[in-house]
Structure formats: C-alpha cells, structure tokens
Structure 1
C-alpha cells in the first residue's frame, strides 16, 4: 500500500504543479485502532511555486483553491492543505493539523519544514480551541452512536479518544498525543473502566465485527460525566497567546525559497 500512496503523491505533484512538504496517515490507523476494513486516510501539506503566490487573487479565492482532494474510494482517502492555509490553521491551534504533525505513520517529509513548524508549536498552543474541538466531537459522536439500550460499540473509541484528549489538555496544558493507547495508559486509572476499554480494543484490533450490542454502562457513565464536567471546565479557561504571525510569515518565505530553489 505504501507504494500506491507514494505514486498517488507523485501524481498529485505533477497534476497540480506543487511540491508536497509532508504526508502522513490520519484517522483510525494513526490513532491505533483500525478495523480490518479501515481505509487509508492520507493527509498532506503542499506548496505552490512562487508565481502562484505573486498574483492579484489571494489564495483560496476564485480558481486558486487552497485544498487538493482526490476522489475517495474504499481503500484510499487522500487530501491536502496548501501551505499558507496550513499555517493559518496552525496559528489557531487547529487540532487536525496538530494531529498530522504527531502521526507515527509518515509517508513523505521534505526538507526542514516540519521540524521548523513543530519547534513553533509552543508559541501557538491555545487550549480553548482544542478543548472545544474535541469536546464537540465527543458530544456529536455520543449523540449519534451511543444512546439507547443497543449501540455500535466500536464507536466508543470515537468518543473515548476526544474525551481523553481533553483530559490530557487539562492535565498537561499541551497538545495531546495521537495514540489512543498512550492517552488511555496515562489518563485512565486501573479498574473496571480501563479493563472494559482494553477488552473492547482487543476485540476491535482482532477484527471482531462488533455491530449493535448492549451498551457498556461503565463506559457510558464515564463519558456522560466527563462531557458534563469538561463543558464547565472550558468555561473557566482564559488564555491569551501572543500573535505568532510574523514567525509564521518568515517560515512561509523560508519554505517557499527552500522548496523552489
């Protein structure tokens, strides 16, 4: 599969006349709980040539789209963000982008861009944005999948992971790790809850279908209480971050020059 992904990335560079700076796996494979039929969610950051930026129409307007999205099939979902779009989102502590930077499955990395952007993360970290993102994700997934006497129990992970990410942010005031197992080992104490989650994870990784089954009370109780508690916690946060735009402008210019020597 890696060879297919590499060919796809090369084809995107040629088709759109761009340079890919960084490409990774996102989603359940990167989080550590893929199903046997999980597709590959490839995400990348790319940069155009200098001439593309030196025009009267700004990026993201008219024909100058700032995303590339290839047709999705059962095996591969691949899309990317243009560099200045990615940097603007980085300035807001965009959680999906910060997850890309933490993915343990890297398909491609060019020059020093990723090292530089990672070094600036402490300058842009804004817990409010991340907490709202993960908490809303958890609430939406819980409402859709985990109510009623019978639930799609494999969907527990799509609520547990964002809740544990919120717990991490609250505990450490840093961006949470992408690995579900790392989050669980740090956040969830030994006991019934951890045992149930570990059992569920083993079943999922073993390929059990795990469709509709009776809800797991200990997990539901934990999720409901944490969503309510975190909702109140987010209201207490008052964090100010210095504007990092000048640093990110410099990173953009340096990357553009380095990439298109």
Structure 2
C-alpha cells in the first residue's frame, strides 16, 4: 500500500469512528478515475456508508452526506446508503460512475455489487444524456469560447460529449475511462483522434495546459455535437425501471449484514 492509499484508509477509519458509521464502498472519481489526471490533481475519494439501525429509526433526521475539507490534495466525501439508493432510482450518473471506477479503495460486504447487478434496470438513457449534455455545455460556455481557451478543459467537454454519443449508440451507461470512450466513438485515423491523443500525452506528461489558441478540429467537433445532441436528447423516453422493492430489500439486508458482522 502506497502513502496516499494509507492516508485514505486512515481517513476512512477516522470517519467511521467519529460518525459511528461503516464504509461500504470507496473509490476514486474525477480525472484520476477518468484517465487524464495532472501531476497535481486532487484525489477525489467518494464513498458510501451506512448508519446504525437506531439512527434510521430515530424521529430526528441525520445528515445524509459526510464531507471533509480538502487537505493536501485529498478531497473526500460520501453518501448515506439510503440517499444513494434513492438517487440510484433516478439513474444518478455520478453514483453509476463511482460503482464502475477502476480505482477502488474499499469494497466491504456485498452492497456495491448488489447495486451493480440492478444498474441495467435502473439506467435511464434520458436522465444520463441530459446530465452529460448539461455538463458539456456548462464547461464549454465557461472555458472554451473565444480565440484563446483553457485547453485542458477540452477533456471536460469531450468526455461528456462522448458519453452522450455512447448512450445514443449503445443505450447503456458509458464507460468511465476517457480513452475507452474515445476509441469507441472517434475513428482511429481521424484528425480529431490524432489531435486529442497529442493533448492527452501532454496532460499526462505534466505540461501546464492553460490558455492557448483554440484547437480548430476539436472546437468544430464539439460545437457540431453539442448542437446535434440537443435534438437527440429530446427523442429519449423517460426514466428506467426503479426496482423499488428490490432496493428496499437491499437496504434492509445491508443493515443486518453490516451490523451483525461487526458486533463485538
């Protein structure tokens, strides 16, 4: 275990002690999980936790989020399992991404895998399409208009645009890693692929990708796709099958499993 992993484990144990919870699942999200971190990128740790049965039976509502201040490149926060399952019913893309993160710090008990098994039934193409489309439009508007742009932000528009195209073509949750999306959507011999691969190499090498002239092949692709995807999104049907009964059973089962196996 390297130093950062040891710090993350230590922080997760501290959260369990201070908050009287159990961590069910913890992973990396953001640029490290997506596959295009900078050398100084934060570690964006996201986790799911469960409280005691008495906490859920109380007349007083507990906070359903645990957050810690960002410190030394460590950004860590998590969701109560009850909150997570309610968001899962709505096909929440961040949660669906966490569950398929390639960097997992902890996976305790059977909860995360049980949610994964239900993911195809809860997945809503429309909900996820709009999530990624709004993310792409917001980042494009904030960083990529004009002759000089923040070119590292191309990744933060390209990834959600490619995710939208994946949903359009395959009707499933897009893969979390950028290069997998890129290879599936963009022709290998295209100018766009060559330009994006060069940018990716620069970013991984630690170059400071800040204000530079707009890169026309990327710019043209994004502008055309953002306009086209607006129309594509309108064609999708509503939400997926929420599997309410199964989620209730999953929550109760997790509550019993976790606290019965941790009794001393």
Q: For each residue in 1:160-200, what CA deviation from the matched residue of structure 2 results, as whole angstroms up to 9, or x when unmatched? A: 00000001111111000100000001001131000000000
The residue that corresponds to 1:37 in the other structure is 40
Cα deviation for residue 250 of structure 1 reads 0.5
The residue that corresponds to 1:126 in the other structure is 124
Cα deviation for residue 242 of structure 1 reads 3.2
Matches for 1:162-241 after TM superposition, within 5 Å? 162-189=160-187, 190-239=189-238, 241=240
CA distance in 1, matches of 2:251, 2:46: 19
CA distance in 2, matches of 1:2, 1:240: 37
TM-score, reference length from structure 1: 0.96
Q: What SS does structure 2 have at the residue aligned with 1:260?
A: helix
Q: Alignment partner for residue 148 of structure 2, among 147, 150, 173?
A: 150
**Matched residue count:** 256
CA distance in 2, matches of 1:210, 1:183: 22
Q: Alignment partner for residue 84 of structure 2, among 75, 86, 90?
A: 86
Q: Give the aligned CA root-mean-square deviation in angstroms.
A: 0.9
TM-score, reference length from structure 2: 0.95
Q: Alignment partner for residue 14 of structure 1, among 17, 20, 38?
A: 17
Q: Alignment partner for residue 23 of structure 1, among 23, 26, 44?
A: 26
Which segment is superposed worse, 241-250 or 149-158?
241-250
Cα deviation for residue 238 of structure 1 reads 1.8
The residue that corresponds to 1:56 in the other structure is 59
Q: What SS does structure 1 have at the residue aligned with 2:25?
A: strand
CA distance in 1, matches of 2:239, 2:72: 43
Cα–Cα, structure 1 residues 151 and 68, in superposed 2: closer, same or farther, change >3 Å? same
Given that 2:25 and 2:49 are in contact with CA atoms closer than 8 Å, whether structure 1 keeps it comes out as yes
CA distance in 1, matches of 2:237, 2:39: 43
Q: Which runs of 4+ in 1 moved over 6 A?
A: none
Q: What SS does structure 2 have at the residue aligned with 1:236?
A: coil
Runs of 5+ in structure 2 lacking a partner? none
CA distance in 1, matches of 2:81, 2:240: 22
Runs of 5+ in structure 1 lacking a partner? none
